[in-house]
Amino acid sequence: MTRLAAPPEAMPRPKKHPSADRPARRRGGRRYATWAWNALAMLLAVVFGFPIYWMLITAFKTSGDVTTITPKFWPRHPSLRGFAEVLHDPIFLDDMRNSLTITLSAVVISIVIGFFGAMAIARFRFLGRKVFIFAVLIVQMIPLLALTIPMSLLLDHAHLKNTTTGVIIAYLVFTMPYTVWTLRTFIANVPKELDEAAMVDGCSRWQTFYKIILPLVAPGLIATGVYGWILAWNEFVLANTLLLDNNKATLPMYLLYFQSSPVHGADWPGLMAAATLTSLPVVVLFVIFQSRISAGLTAGAVKG
């Protein structure tokens, strides 16, 4: 965390820093235009936010109000039944913990591994470099559905099926490649002169990585982390295939419980309450890191 807190001003190119741009745009009596843009932004927020709003109010509706001939834009008899049931369900909390363990581990591991890999291709020329880049790309293209059963067999042979560790390893397949790609562009954006200078000052290569490059790509680490987080957090098919015990289940598996089955109808308010509570940690995470994300989601990638 202390690393992440390193001030961006440490970057040697002060002009690059975004917040400095904005006042300039305000110059020249553009307030009226800004007002119009704000209105457009609010319109977009309403359009994009409407399905979210629908999810939220459905969670508060009673079953009879979920689908009605005249849509109910506000729950007539707001009910906390769905939320109460989910929050009091020990299985929900268990599954939340499982999801947290799996997602956090997969993201942290892929960031560490991805950072090293990205360092290598951004900073070194070596035989097999292109093959490596290509392999990273190819892995992203494997359809996950085709991969599921072979992956399950592989983990079975390695005695990792039906374990949290196994799912974490399987998730690296889709969290790591993106990390390598994206971090590579971040690292490439840190001028090599900095490495050189540090090494002239007597830093070892490792110290250079650690003290110079890592702080500068911290926003990139967060941004790729959030991306991987969302993918892993919402993944269903692999988790459902690899985890056999109920007490190891993750949140997307939990959501299924509310859907209709041959003998029971779907509990939509319950499902939407559970879905809201499932999305919330991600949103909270976003809000915490938001400033860093927008500063850094792709700070490196825009190198011309």
Partner 1 sequence: MTATGTSTGRRVVSPRIGRRGSGLAYLLILPAVVVLVGVTGWPLYKIIMLSLQRQDSGKFALFHSAGTTPFVGLRNFTRVLSDSAFWTVLERTLVFTVLNVGLSLALGMGVALLLNRVSKWARVILVAVLLFVWAVPSTVSTQIFYWLFSNQYGVVNWLLDRVPGVHMRGHDWFADPHQGLAVVTAVVVWGAVPLIAISLHAGITQIPRDVLEAARVDGASPWQAFTRVTLPFLRPLLIILMTLSVIWDFGVFNQIWFMRNGHPEPGYQTVGIYMYSEGVGSSHYNTGATIGVLMMVCLLGVMVFYIRQLFRIGDAE
Partner 2 sequence: MKRTVVTAAVIAVTAVMTVSACSSGKSSGGGSTAVMSTDGKGKTITVWLQSDAQKGWPAVVDAANAEFEKQTGAKVTVQWQQWNNYTTKLDSTFAGSTGVPDVVELGNTQTASYIAAGAFKDLTSGKAQFDNSSTWLKGLEASGTSPDGKLQAVPYYAGSRVVIYRTDMFAKAGITNPPTTLDELNADAAKLKAAYPHDPNFSAFYMPARNWYAAMSFVYGAGGQIAMQQGGTWQGTLDSSQAQQGLASWQKIATDFSVGGKTKDESDQDAVMAQGHIAMILGNGWEVGSVLDPKTGNPKLKSVVSTFPMPGTAAGQYTPSFLGGSDLAVPQKAPNSGLGAQWIKAFTNTAQQTALAKFAIPNNTALLGTYEAAGQANQSTGEAAKNTWFVPNTPNWANVETGNVLQNMLEDIANGKQSVADAAKAADTKVAGILNAKN
The least distance separating partner 2 from the CB of residue 61, rounded to whole angstroms, comes to: 11
Binding-site size for partner 1 (CB under 8 A) equals 122
Q: Rg for the chain (alpha carbons), in Å?
A: 23
Chain positions 165 to 194 lying near partner 1, rule: CB under 8 A, are 169-170, 172-173, 176, 178, 180-182, 184-185, 187-189, 191-193
Name which of residues 241 to 260 contact partner 2 (CB under 8 A).
241, 244-246, 253, 256-257, 259-260
Asked whether position 164 contacts partner 2 by CB under 8 A, the answer is no
- Asked if 119 is part of the footprint of partner 1 (rule: CB under 8 A), the reply reads yes
Q: Which of residues 58-87 bind partner 2 (CB under 8 A)?
A: 62-64, 66-69, 81
The one of partner 2, partner 1, none whose footprint includes residue 257, by CB under 5 to 8 A per kind, is partner 2
The least distance separating partner 2 from the CB of residue 255, rounded to whole angstroms, comes to 10
Closest CB to partner 2 among residues 67, 294: 67
Cβ neighbours of 284 (radius 10 Å): 10
For partner 2, the closer CB: 161 or 292? 161
* Interface with partner 1 in residues 45-64 (CB under 8 A): 45, 48-52, 54-55, 58
Closest CA to 235 of 257, 255, 260: 255
Q: Nearer to partner 1 by C-beta: 107 or 119?
A: 119
Residue of 5, 157, 201, 206 that binds partner 2 (CB under 8 A): 157
**Binding site partner of 262, from partner 2, partner 1, none, Cβ cut-off 5-8 A by kind:** partner 2
Q: Rounded to whole angstroms, how far apart are CA atoms 221 and 111? A: 7
Please name the amino acid found at residue 17. H
Quick note: the x/- pattern for partner 1 over 199-238, rule CB under 8 A, is: ------x-----------------x---x--x--xx-x--
Report the 10 Å Cβ neighbour count for 283: 12
Q: Which of 152, 164, 165, 279 binds partner 2 (CB under 8 A)?
A: 152
What are the backbone dihedrals phi and psi of residue 127, each rounded to the nearest 5 degrees, phi first? Answer: -65, 130
Scanning 29-37, 195-203, 208-216, 267-275 for contacts with partner 2 by CB under 8 A, the matching segment is 267-275
Distance CA 161, CA 234 (A): 20
